[in-house]
């Protein structure tokens, strides 16, 4: 067998076919173009010096692995015989091109085997795993790992309101929940808190057009300022009840003792420019020309953990921080999750802050009086011991407050 030895002679004699010439130059691009144009892949040389072989015979002899695969994929005849009765496989073996010989033998077996029937859905694996099967197995394993890392969504018995009241067109609400901060630890479940509170406010009759929900990236200092100091003053009137809810981190200024609400971009090192002062928050709400303003804060300002943060290098405050003045005119009333020197915690099984969970449970009817009404004072009387008990189970103290307690607004119906 003299394929390799006679390649140059074949070219010099000018008797090679165009396919053979491209092959002998190892010009795979030209071979592909010729095959695409319909050139016969099984054309045999008609000269004695070419030994009557096809392009595949020559590729097998010359050890051109890529060319062999191109020709086989194009339908080259694996059983074709040259002048001396040799197949491409036999030529590759004789020329000591074992990888090509192995490949050609595999292709011979593949072509001679009848097509396999599609396996039944419950058929066991055959024991021979190909690349596609391996890829599927790896993809399934990665998907399972990601699924395991992602906890199942928490569902709480307070997420869906159990009531629906008539619309109150004069009422407005601002609901804020900051869970994912830019550079701070998460305030766990704060977004879920805010979304559930929004749903309950809609059930209480607050029109959807009058309810603004700010969560995570939307809860910037700019947006807090815009809605507290522009949108609400421009929107509410003397017959309006305004409900403002905040769930997220609070922070104390260790030097002044002033408390701040921490928006999504807030930095405890620079509270004065990146956070919203709590006293400014109360003053903006007290200035509204509304019949009543109800505030609910599921946050804390101790800097000792929970839903509070502290500047690096400082210690949690021992003395209580200044949580800001309330409305001297008596139209503003606030429900707070904890005393200013305590931690506001969560009930993980319910996926809510402890304060928010019992606030919503109370609105769902647990805080209803004998007449079925839920008042602000009744809601506070219900949730205060519940939250304190939940905190004691976690070996901490949490004491919600109603400021001011009692009075006309305490008797006002929420539902």
| Burial of 189 from C-beta contacts in 10 A (0-12 / 13-18 / 19+) | buried
| 249 in the same domain as 397 | yes
Query: Within 13 Å, how many C-alpha atoms sit on residue 135's CB side?
Result: 3
Respond yes or no on whether the N-terminal peptide bond of residue 148 is cis (omega within 30° of 0): no
In a domain, 340, yes or no: yes
Query: Within 13 Å, how many C-alpha atoms sit on residue 311's CB side?
Result: 18
Q: State the Cα–Cα distance between residues 121 and 157, nearest whole angstrom.
A: 40
Respond yes or no on whether the N-terminal peptide bond of residue 318 is cis (omega within 30° of 0): no
End residue of a domain, out of 94, 112, 130: 112
End residue of a domain, out of 71, 97, 112: 112
Q: State the Cα–Cα distance between residues 415 and 413, nearest whole angstrom.
A: 5
CATH of the domain at 303: 3.40.50.1460
In a domain, 139, yes or no: no
> Residue 260 in contact with residue 302, Cβ under 8 Å?
no
In a domain, 153, yes or no: no
| 250 in the same domain as 176 | yes
Label residue 45 by pLDDT band (50, 70, 90): confident
- Better-predicted residue by pLDDT, 199 or 301: 199
Domain hosting residue 233, numbered range? 172-411
Could you read off the pLDDT of 324-334 as tens digits, one per residue?
556 666 789 99
Q: What is the mean pLDDT of residues 161-184?
A: 95
| 243 in the same domain as 103 | no
Q: State the Cα–Cα distance between residues 201 and 173, nearest whole angstrom.
A: 8
Chain mean pLDDT for the chain: 83
Label residue 70 by pLDDT band (50, 70, 90): confident
**DSSP code for 406:** S
| 201 in the same domain as 102 | no
In a domain, 243, yes or no: yes
Q: State the Cα–Cα distance between residues 55 and 59, nearest whole angstrom.
A: 6
| 179 in the same domain as 99 | no
| 219 in the same domain as 82 | no
Query: How many other CB atoms are there within 10 angstroms of residue 250's CB atom?
Result: 32
Q: What is the mean pLDDT of residues 205-215?
A: 98
CATH of the domain at 32: 1.25.40.20
In a domain, 119, yes or no: no
The tally of domains found in the chain comes to 2
End residue of a domain, out of 112, 130, 164: 112
| 97 in the same domain as 222 | no
Q: State the Cα–Cα distance between residues 366 and 414, nearest whole angstrom.
A: 13
Lowest-confidence range among 70-74, 118-122, 275-279? 118-122
pLDDT at 149: 57
- Better-predicted residue by pLDDT, 350 or 53: 350
pLDDT at 3: 54
Q: State the Cα–Cα distance between residues 297 and 306, nearest whole angstrom.
A: 14
Which residue in the block uniquely carries the two structure tokens 């304190």? Answer: 388
Q: State the Cα–Cα distance between residues 93 and 90, nearest whole angstrom.
A: 5
Cβ neighbours for 10, distance < 8 A, ≥ 6 positions apart: 16, 20, 24, 45, 47, 49, 50
């Amino acid at each position: 067998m003299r394929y390799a030895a006679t390649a140059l002679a074949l070219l010099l004699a000018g008797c090679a076919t165009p396919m053979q010439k491209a092959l002998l130059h190892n010009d795979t691009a030209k071979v592909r173009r010729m095959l695409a144009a319909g050139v016969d892949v099984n054309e045999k040389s008609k000269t004695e010096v070419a030994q009557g072989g096809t392009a595949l015979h020559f590729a097998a002899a010359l050890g051109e692995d890529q060319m062999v695969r191109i020709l086989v994929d194009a339908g080259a005849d694996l059983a074709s015989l040259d002048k001396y009765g040799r197949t491409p496989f036999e030529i590759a073996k004789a020329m000591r091109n074992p990888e090509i010989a192995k490949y050609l033998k595999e292709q011979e077996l593949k072509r001679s085997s009848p097509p396999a029937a599609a396996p039944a859905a419950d058929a066991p694996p055959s024991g021979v795993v190909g690349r596609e099967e391996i890829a599927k197995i790896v993809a399934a394993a990665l998907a399972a790992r990601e699924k395991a890392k992602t906890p199942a969504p928490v569902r709480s018995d307070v997420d869906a309101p159990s009531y629906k009241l008539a619309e109150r067109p004069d009422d407005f609400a601002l609901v804020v929940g900051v869970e994912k901060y830019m550079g701070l630890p998460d305030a766990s479940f704060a977004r879920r808190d805010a979304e559930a509170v929004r749903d309950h406010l809609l059930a209480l009759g607050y029109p959807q057009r009058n309810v603004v929900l700010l969560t995570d990236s939307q809860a910037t200092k700019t947006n807090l300022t815009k809605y507290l100091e522009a949108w609400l003053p421009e929107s509410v009137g003397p017959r309006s009840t305004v409900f403002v809810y905040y769930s997220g981190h609070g922070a104390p200024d260790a030097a002044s003792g002033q408390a701040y609400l921490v928006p999504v971009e807030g930095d405890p090192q620079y509270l004065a420019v990146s956070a919203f002062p709590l006293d400014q928050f109360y003053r903006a709400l007290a200035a509204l020309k509304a019949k009543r303003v109800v505030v609910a804060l599921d946050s804390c300002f101790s800097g000792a953990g929970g839903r509070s943060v502290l500047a690096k290098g400082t210690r949690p405050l021992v003395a209580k921080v200044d949580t800001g003045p309330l409305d001297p005119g008596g139209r503003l009333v606030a429900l707070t999750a904890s005393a200013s020197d305590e931690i506001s915690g969560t009930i993980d099984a319910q996926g809510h802050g402890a304060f928010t969970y019992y606030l919503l449970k109370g609105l769902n009817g647990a805080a209803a009086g004998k007449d079925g009404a839920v008042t602000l004072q009744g809601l506070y009387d219900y949730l205060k011991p519940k939250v304190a008990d939940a905190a004691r189970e976690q070996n901490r103290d949490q004491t919600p407050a109603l400021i001011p307690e009692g009075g006309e607004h305490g008797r006002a119906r929420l539902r």
